[in-house]
Structure 1
Amino acid sequence: MKTSRLPGLAFVSIAVILLSSLSASGAAAQTPAPTDPIPPDPAVITGTLDNGLRYFVHENDQPENRAELRLVVNAGSILEDEDQLGLAHFVEHMAFNGTENFEKQALVDYLESIGMQFGPDINAYTSFDETVYMLQVPMDDPEMLATAFRILGDWAQGVRFDPEEVDKERGVVIEEWRGRRGAQARMQDRQFPVMFEGSLYAERLPIGKTEILETAPVERLRDFYEDWYRPDLMAIIAVGDFDDREIESTIREQFAGLTGPAEPRPRVFADIPVDHPPRVAIATDTEAMQSQVGVLYKQPPAPRGTVADFRRGLVEGLYSGMLNARLDELRLQADAPFLVGFSGQGQFARGVDAYQLAAVVGDGGIERGLEALLMEAERVVRHGFTGTELERQKTDVRRAYERRLAERENQESIVLANRYLQAFLQDSPYPSIETQTALVDALLPGITLAETNAVAQAWLAEEGRIILVNAPEKDGLETPAEADLVGVFASVSGAEIEAYVDVAADAPLLPVVPEGAPVVSEETLEDVGVSIWTLENGVRVVLKPTDFKDDEILFSATSPGGTSLLPDDLMRKTSFALNVIAQSGVGEFDQTELGKKLTGKAVRVSPLLGSLSEGIGGSSSPQDVETAFQLIYLYFSAPRRDETMFEALKAQQTAVLANVGANPNVVFSDTVSAIMSQGHPRVQRVSQLMDDLLQADLDAGYEIFRERFADASDFTFYFTGAFDLAMMRPLVERYLGALPNLGRVENWVDHDIDPPAGVIETVVYKGLEPQSRTQIIFAGDAEYSREEAGAIYAMAEVLQIRLRELLREDLGGTYSVGVNGRLTYRPDEEYSVTIGFGSAPERAEELSSVVFEEIERLRTEGPDAETVGKVRETQRRGLETSLRENRYWLNQLASFERGGWDLNEIPSFEGIESWTAEQVREAAVRYLRTDQYARFVLLPEQKVP
């Protein structure tokens, strides 16, 4: 068997030369030879066993005490025989339903018992060309890792295909197919044959055909498995907090014995023609919510292995970045031609790349939207980009790589695992971040406008072009014909197009730096590393420095009140306008100008106006944190009233809402909302949003925004991340200390939005597909405590596991079931438990009955010890990783303070494990009341004879 830990010589040949060639005076790096290969990351151990299996091993401690494992099979639906359509995906399902070492559901049971969740931590997918199995496992017990590798080995060549289990799983796979059906799927059915014409891809969608899924003999699943699950088509990927040499040894021992067929079938790759004449694929549907238009330009696959390839990728990325900036600017015009416009290039399918121009447009706007996309691309062909655009884009690219370099010790294992997955499947390079940054430093300065301008000319070819249109089908809405769409290209070709004028404001972001005010009191919580400052103007600041990320600071701010202080009619009249103000820029800068002003800065600040509070949220790099403080100050002192933004976003929202009533899921959710709120006018429903939009008042919204942010004395700011207190103190005092202080004493108002009493049964008939959705909601008054909140959460987790086992695994009646339980104390003390699942319409009643049977069992017997253990371990494992995340601390600091709880208790495992099985049973008795619930069922439309 072959194995190698890359010695770093190839790395030295480029990366070290690039890094060392930067002189002390800051001279530019030497440009490497275009034909030089891009060296792989020397931290990765790779090897190939004698049987052909490859492996990638990378020692990495983000997150700590976890390992990301992958079994990658270079085989998917494209390799199915005519009587196997859908069986590649079916085989993937069966890998979780009985293997050599794990009978039936024992595999999932074991993984859940060590705290891993089915879905987030245990999963798999099947595509046209590959099947990938994914595990995340803890590292604190060597036996857990050893078992995880046994599971990978079982998946590789130990799946059992028990006929009884196969028959159970048929329903689950069909329910997965059923859940994906709808307007988008039906339009895709009509467009894929055009997009993939002349290729086997048109006939091999991974989900397959239901008639085969329902009847395929077990032998045909086993045939696919034995034909294609073989070591020469496999790779093992392991990234995690372990000793990499020990893991390599484990892989070699575990997988060296895998064998392949004596006469293996050739692994063919389906060709996709890229040299065909232009095509058009138009699809409409009565349930479609939006119109979309796009142009797909298929291309031969671009090589990726050399320095020249890396440089080409930079050029193409600069082109798309600059064009997308122009499209976004166009989107924000008052009479914009589209809601969203996009330019991008990437892989279309294995062995084929594609460039795409696409837009979401309003009803009747397909031709105009297409014209706008083509106009902007043609504008680049004729006039090119400007020097200022290129320099801004280069600055942003350079800054992105600088941030990645700063976080090189904090790369997430899941990201690295996905990188090596592509390295195996597509022979993609996987250089270190140091190498990538060195290449960017050496190559980016030399890229010229002529090169970026030439990209459009090369990509906008007629050969391989496909025009794609999706649109609602309804009375009074005409969809353009093929000739109309082709005519847009001729029209643009003959049009006069002016050069783009790049307008960027030169004014400083903050014309006058405020004097601020000092910190007047301090408190330190040593156990959790939290400092609390109070400023002279009343602003409170809660700070937790961390070492989780080297280039991340997160922050939020909150003040009680929000829109709850507004009367009903004013709230509805201004809700949209308030959102516009938050997106209109600050001071002298509108949204577009602000984006240009912030070029090269890693900073995001957004004002928030919720139902119970107003606040600020955002993030920044440590080196850009002063800019974040300036933006916070400006949102308080100089928000913008932007009529153009108002009209642009109003037009966009109008287009979005025009057809939402056609979507059965929207109608269903709207019905649930209306009934559960008892029609309360403050609960916004989709069916009312158009009326609210027509009444939207920008002036009133602007005044309310100003009024809500006119007093900072009751605001608390929270900061977590890579900072020290000495760095933050002058910024806090200068900018937060300068915020206005009116001394107001406010709180939110409870408007008595309560769920209905008693039992409610509602059926919604909407939709063309044979689909059903069931939602069961238990809700009512409660007495809040943290202990009780923990019990109801645990109860929901217990119930979800049990219902998954019953509805999915035993009955094959649904693809997934979700249960959510919570207690709230704002604005009122209430409980809610929501159970939701999809199914065939004819099985909705049956599955609901099983749900209520399990609820009754939980109420009388309580949870079984095995399920209790799973939930406890999952909660413990979740907290274990959460405590190393800035986002978790930011949310917990605000939540604990809002509840009046001791911040020192945030890291406590005892808080989440304080519930008992008996408390869960008692919670089920209190909250899963059979005399107080609402059940909603979505069924297909009933056809009138």
Structure 2
Amino acid sequence: MKTSRLLRFAFVLIAVTLVSSLSAPGAAGQTPAPADPIPPDPAVITGTLDNGLRYFVRENNEPENRAELRLVVNAGSILEDEDQLGLAHFVEHMAFNGTENFEKQALVDYLESIGMQFGPDINAYTSFDETVYMLQVPMDDPEMLVTAFRILEDWAQGVLFDPEEVDKERGVVIEEWRGRRGAGARIQDQQFPVLFQGSLYAERLPIGKTEILETAPAERLRSFYEDWYRPDLMAIIAVGDFDGAVIEATIRERFGGLTGPAEPRPRIAAEVPIDHPPLVTIVTDPEAQGSQVGVLYKQPPAPRGTIGDFRRGLVEGLYSGMLNARLNELRLQADPPFMFSFSGQGQFARGVDAYQLVALVAEGGIERGLEALLTEAERVVQNGFTASELEREKTNTRRGYERRLAERENQESASLASRYIQVFLQGSAYPSLETQMELVDAFLPGITLEETNGIAQAWLAEQGRVVLASAPAKEGLEPPAEEDLLNVFAAVGGREVEAYEDEAADAPLLPVAPDGMPVASEEVLDEVGVTIWTLENGVRVVLKPTDFKDDEILFSATSPGGTSTVSDDLFRRVSFALNVVGQSGVGDFDQTALGKKLAGKAVRVSPSVGSLSEGLGGSASPQDVETAFQLMYLYFSAPRRDETMFEAMKAQQMAVLANVGANPNFVFSDTISATMSQGHPRVLRLSQLASNLEEADLDAAYDLYRDRFADASDFTFYFTGAFDLATMRPLVEQYLGALPNLGRVEDWRDLGIDPPAGTIETTVYKGLEPQSRTQIIFAGEAAYSLEESNAISAMADVLDIRLREILREDMGGTYGVGVRGSLSYRPDEEYRFTISFGSDPERAEELSDAVFEEIERLKAEGPDAETVDKVRETQRRTKETNLQENRYWLSQLASFERAGRDLNGIPSYEWIERWTAEQVREAAVRYLRTDQYARFVLLPEQKVP
């Protein structure tokens, strides 16, 4: 057999080029050598205590008045003994169930009392190699920070492992395992032994084995904790709105006394073989939602700490960016070889990197999808990229760094903390954004096509390659054999591939600048810094300049009507195709051409037609905001009717729908939706989607889109972010002022989608795993008022805490409970209150009974004072951070106006302070009625009586 270029081990020595062209600016005019380390960010305070514990401290005030704290333990499931499988993760759970300073649930109770939520603000995770504990705490009371560090100290060496608490938590851990089961987990169970062949990673999944989770005594958990929770394997990370020197001193004082075992166990590094011959795994599952194929090329770990490594990373990023752009073009063909594809390289496991080519494909399309992936990689091997592709990707790359530099004062503390976690665990470099920009400017212009073209040869090695394919197991669908997939490699590598032609439009985005109309009237709301303009064509523009982000402008637009204005028959024919029109580009530019045209610009505009309104949304950098206005104008005046896009998206959607009915959760949700809408024709069933897709009418959708955007006189545009009014006014007048005014008066239409009356009990039998889901919905008519809306929201927060305490902490019956409540005023006045949880099928009824018992208690007694205080403080803290977010202001401006409320009320805390425990109790009586609810339970198929 002819040796394939794809199969040859052909690493290219790019290092020679790196050395010869390196010329980064250095301190005092010196030019650093490739081997020089990347200088660390001077804003980060680092150190190592005598006991080995490391720390990373960074002052950062985004968000204001918050600190992000992390305890990082360089120990995970890979270090478990044979009788400890799953106990690294179990230990993490026990850290929230009793420590030296916080008995049982006192730790979570305290954090909730200061407004932090279990999940978003208080959390932890366990992986193969590490365990990380995460806290966000307010900074307005010094005692809160003291207590937060006491919690980290307790997690480090003060977890108690009370046998009673261990037994209670078993159920929670097992429910977490249960919730993760399904087609994906079963496919993973078969792929991991091949993917990690010869490595402990194949045998040490963090979730562990249920037989050990159910029986392991507390002492066995304590043994893992004492072996591996020790200072030489730990780091403290603190990022936030504080004095860094004070925090460093606190860390040294509180954690300097931690000690490790006299004879510590060696911290092993589990090896993953990379020198094996090619491997193939093909897995089918009856509940798999679709088919996919991927090729993973294992690699030795690439160093990432030097100047030369940084430049190599730029080369690799350019290669992946250009190849992904080509793959995306294939996805948009009328008969695409895949629905989604990805090319990328990074760390695979500790000590191993990998390059991946992955595609989601239609049923029966695994070989075709694999061929398309390999062909595009081979196209680069044989012909390389084009100069125009490289320049465009360089432009995009530099723009990305430029934007990050512009936002250097607004980096999120949580994001920075995550970065320093990897610095500790992986030894990653952490240069400042200024240093990164300097290196990019020094290196990016000199990177050549020869370098980027050589990446494909370097990465597409036969040795260490693993092919992974999965598909639904169903009658009439025969998966390919291993030989079939190997033949694809041979076929692609054995033929000549045509060079790629880069078709980039040189025409201007907007050929003729429109003549607009001026602002006719202006209203200024000084209290909230909002200005409202009404243009002569009737368009309203609401603007809120902010200083939250230096490189962010967000916007949206809305007009009443949407698809509610059309008949049920027309809706059925256009519901899918309307999305196509919105994604087909504008004017002479299809989506691919538009993406190329916008290279280097940070701008996004997306039109949509919803059920009650039409509009658009998007974002832009301040320097690209005029382009955003041009796109808005074009989405009104020059939308595209793109048959190719229609066929591409139709093929993708058909592939998604082909096996969606095999997924138990989809079937369950479909049943709930159909029942709660009483089978309304606007609420489509899974069984109807495929036939409706066949009836999709692009012409009708295009006509409806044009109609919905034909009259801008009833549109309101909202802008928040980094702009000034003087800059925005001429753009608003020119582009929004040029939008059409037909003077139509219209509104949305109530389609009569109402919940059923009375009580409904529905059980869905679907699924292979021993899983159950329960959803209890209270819904019906209600008179809307702001007071009632706030009471329902507070009631949802109260029950969320109480049901977590009861169902999870006390009963050990679920991993989590979701509670949502709302009162709507359009299309009509209704309430909806939903409680959902997963569980063992044998306990579903028991847990439902507990939910209703708590509801009755709430009706009789109202919430206790402690829970009320927790909810109110959480609402305050959430509001505090929300008011510093452009996205929050954008949504609130629109929702306040839609409800006819005074915009000056957006920053008010009045509703948070005003609701009472008695109002919550009354709301429970009024809305949580036992004569007006629906309960849905999902049970596995084998439970059919």
TM superposition score category, shorter chain reference? over 0.9
Whether 2:157 is the aligned partner of 1:167: answer: no
**Matched-pair contact (CA < 8 Å) for 2:75–2:129:** yes
**Matched-pair contact (CA < 8 Å) for 1:63–1:413:** yes
Amino acid at match of 2:170: R
1:117-144 deviations in whole A, cap 9, x for unaligned?
A: 0000000000000000000000000000
Q: TM-score, normalised by structure 2?
A: 0.97
CA distance in 1, matches of 2:944, 2:47: 65
Query: What is the CA distance between 1:563 and its match in structure 2?
Result: 0.4
CA distance in 2, matches of 1:661, 1:411: 42
Q: Secondary structure at the match of 2:523?
A: strand
Whether 2:780 is the aligned partner of 1:775: answer: no
1:335-375 deviations in whole A, cap 9, x for unaligned?
A: 11111111000111111100000100000000000000000
CA distance in 2, matches of 1:943, 1:161: 36
1:938 alignment partner in structure 2: 938
Whether 2:202 is the aligned partner of 1:202: answer: yes
1:8 alignment partner in structure 2: none
CA distance in 1, matches of 2:210, 2:824: 43
CA distance in 1, matches of 2:602, 2:831: 40
Q: Secondary structure at the match of 1:172?
A: helix
CA distance in 2, matches of 1:920, 1:818: 18
1:457-477 deviations in whole A, cap 9, x for unaligned?
A: 000000000000010000000
Query: What is the CA distance between 1:913 and its match in structure 2?
Result: 2.5
Moved over 3 A (4+): 14-21
Q: Secondary structure at the match of 1:608?
A: strand
Query: What is the CA distance between 1:495 and its match in structure 2?
Result: 1.9
Query: What is the CA distance between 1:496 and its match in structure 2?
Result: 2.5
Query: What is the CA distance between 1:282 and its match in structure 2?
Result: 1.1
1:669 alignment partner in structure 2: 669
1:288-345 deviations in whole A, cap 9, x for unaligned?
A: 0100000000001000010100001000000000000000001000011111111000
CA distance in 1, matches of 2:111, 2:165: 19
1:92 alignment partner in structure 2: 92
- Aligned pairs for 1:309-328 (under 5 A) are 309-328=309-328
**Matched-pair contact (CA < 8 Å) for 1:301–1:353:** yes
Whether 2:761 is the aligned partner of 1:761: answer: yes
**Matched-pair contact (CA < 8 Å) for 2:24–2:443:** no
Query: What is the CA distance between 1:912 and its match in structure 2?
Result: 2.6
Whether 2:693 is the aligned partner of 1:698: answer: no
Q: Secondary structure at the match of 1:848?
A: helix
2:387 alignment partner in structure 1: 387
2:17 alignment partner in structure 1: none
1:50-90 deviations in whole A, cap 9, x for unaligned?
A: 00000000000000000000000000000000000000000
1:59 alignment partner in structure 2: 59
Whether 2:359 is the aligned partner of 1:359: answer: yes
**Matched-pair contact (CA < 8 Å) for 2:23–2:443:** no
| CA RMSD after TM alignment | 1.1
Query: What is the CA distance between 1:608 and its match in structure 2?
Result: 1.2
Query: What is the CA distance between 1:687 and its match in structure 2?
Result: 2.6
2:238 alignment partner in structure 1: 238
Whether 2:231 is the aligned partner of 1:268: answer: no
**Matched-pair contact (CA < 8 Å) for 2:53–2:235:** yes
Amino acid at match of 1:559: S
Whether 2:481 is the aligned partner of 1:476: answer: no
Q: Secondary structure at the match of 1:498?
A: coil
1:229 alignment partner in structure 2: 229
CA distance in 1, matches of 2:141, 2:371: 61
1:131 alignment partner in structure 2: 131
**Matched-pair contact (CA < 8 Å) for 1:550–1:722:** yes
Amino acid at match of 1:330: L
**Matched-pair contact (CA < 8 Å) for 2:559–2:714:** yes
**Matched-pair contact (CA < 8 Å) for 1:18–1:438:** no
2:81 alignment partner in structure 1: 81
1:545 alignment partner in structure 2: 545
1:7 alignment partner in structure 2: none
CA distance in 1, matches of 2:66, 2:608: 35
Query: What is the CA distance between 1:942 and its match in structure 2?
Result: 2.7
1:644 alignment partner in structure 2: 644
Q: Secondary structure at the match of 1:527?
A: coil
Query: What is the CA distance between 1:877 and its match in structure 2?
Result: 0.1
- Aligned pairs for 1:439-478 (under 5 A) are 439-478=439-478
Q: Secondary structure at the match of 1:358?
A: strand
2:114 alignment partner in structure 1: 114
CA distance in 2, matches of 1:512, 1:140: 55
1:598 alignment partner in structure 2: 598
Query: What is the CA distance between 1:426 and its match in structure 2?
Result: 0.6
CA distance in 1, matches of 2:495, 2:690: 37
Label 1:516 to 1:20 Cα distance change in 2 as closer, same or farther (>3 A). Answer: farther
1:255 alignment partner in structure 2: 255
CA distance in 1, matches of 2:686, 2:876: 39
CA distance in 1, matches of 2:896, 2:594: 35
Amino acid at match of 1:533: W
1:295 alignment partner in structure 2: 295
1:27 alignment partner in structure 2: none
**Matched-pair contact (CA < 8 Å) for 1:337–1:365:** yes
1:331 alignment partner in structure 2: 331
Amino acid at match of 1:934: A
CA distance in 2, matches of 1:557, 1:357: 38
Query: What is the CA distance between 1:684 and its match in structure 2?
Result: 2.6
Amino acid at match of 2:743: G
1:735 alignment partner in structure 2: 735
1:26 alignment partner in structure 2: none
- Aligned pairs for 1:476-875 (under 5 A) are 476-875=476-875
**Matched-pair contact (CA < 8 Å) for 1:15–1:434:** no
Amino acid at match of 2:360: V
CA distance in 2, matches of 1:687, 1:32: 64
CA distance in 2, matches of 1:573, 1:854: 46
**Matched-pair contact (CA < 8 Å) for 1:288–1:473:** yes
Query: What is the CA distance between 1:158 and its match in structure 2?
Result: 0.3
Query: What is the CA distance between 1:683 and its match in structure 2?
Result: 1.3
Amino acid at match of 1:896: F
**Matched-pair contact (CA < 8 Å) for 2:859–2:924:** yes
1:401 alignment partner in structure 2: 401
CA distance in 2, matches of 1:581, 1:724: 33
CA distance in 2, matches of 1:291, 1:914: 53
Amino acid at match of 1:395: T
Unpaired runs of at least 5, structure 2: 1-21
Amino acid at match of 2:308: A
CA distance in 2, matches of 1:76, 1:828: 52
**Matched-pair contact (CA < 8 Å) for 2:576–2:696:** yes
Query: What is the CA distance between 1:16 and its match in structure 2?
Result: 10
1:692-722 deviations in whole A, cap 9, x for unaligned?
A: 1010000000000000000000000000000
CA distance in 2, matches of 1:227, 1:943: 43
Q: Secondary structure at the match of 2:538?
A: coil
Query: Identity over the aligned pairs, expressed in percent?
Result: 81
Label 1:168 to 1:512 Cα distance change in 2 as closer, same or farther (>3 A). Answer: same
CA distance in 1, matches of 2:496, 2:424: 48
**Matched-pair contact (CA < 8 Å) for 2:23–2:31:** no
1:917 alignment partner in structure 2: 917
CA distance in 2, matches of 1:825, 1:496: 63
CA distance in 1, matches of 2:110, 2:760: 39
Amino acid at match of 1:282: I
CA distance in 2, matches of 1:384, 1:145: 55
**Matched-pair contact (CA < 8 Å) for 1:767–1:940:** yes
Amino acid at match of 1:289: Q
Amino acid at match of 1:510: L
1:9 alignment partner in structure 2: none
**Matched-pair contact (CA < 8 Å) for 2:66–2:136:** yes
**Matched-pair contact (CA < 8 Å) for 1:770–1:840:** yes
Q: Secondary structure at the match of 2:469?
A: strand
CA distance in 1, matches of 2:943, 2:610: 42
Amino acid at match of 2:208: G
CA distance in 1, matches of 2:146, 2:502: 59
CA distance in 1, matches of 2:911, 2:819: 21
Aligned residues: 924
1:748-774 deviations in whole A, cap 9, x for unaligned?
A: 000110000000000000000000000
1:872-897 deviations in whole A, cap 9, x for unaligned?
A: 00000000000000000000000000
CA distance in 1, matches of 2:165, 2:81: 23
CA distance in 1, matches of 2:896, 2:927: 24
Label 1:94 to 1:564 Cα distance change in 2 as closer, same or farther (>3 A). Answer: same
1:185-208 deviations in whole A, cap 9, x for unaligned?
A: 001000000001111111000000
CA distance in 1, matches of 2:350, 2:826: 51
CA distance in 1, matches of 2:783, 2:28: 65
CA distance in 2, matches of 1:514, 1:20: 52
